[in-house]
């Protein structure tokens, strides 16, 4: 499963920009396919339901599989 299917990175990028996250930090999130925990709740609130906790869980599971 592709990370694009797990989470809409364009939406994450737009919302994070609105929250004041630096451009290069957002690029790193996309490259690593990981959103730092401190930004998850603000993104959930800003997305108004477009992003769910399950999206983050899927990203985390995918990362763990790749690391193993």
pLDDT in tens, 39-67: 999 999 999 999 999 999 999 998 888 77
Farthest CA pair distance, the chain: 35
Is the four-CA dihedral 19, 65, 7, 27 of positive or negative sign?
positive
Question: Model's pTM, two decimal places?
Answer: 0.83
Torsion of CA 26, 31, 56, 48, to 10 degrees: 40
Q: Is residue 1's pLDDT more than 60?
A: no
């Amino acid at each position: 499963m592709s990370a694009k299917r797990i989470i809409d990175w364009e939406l994450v990028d737009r919302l994070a920009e609105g929250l004041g996250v630096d451009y290069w930090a957002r690029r790193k999130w996309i490259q690593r396919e990981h959103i730092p925990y401190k930004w998850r709740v603000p993104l959930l609130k800003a997305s108004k339901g477009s992003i769910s906790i399950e999206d983050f869980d899927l990203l985390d599971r995918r990362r763990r599989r790749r690391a193993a």
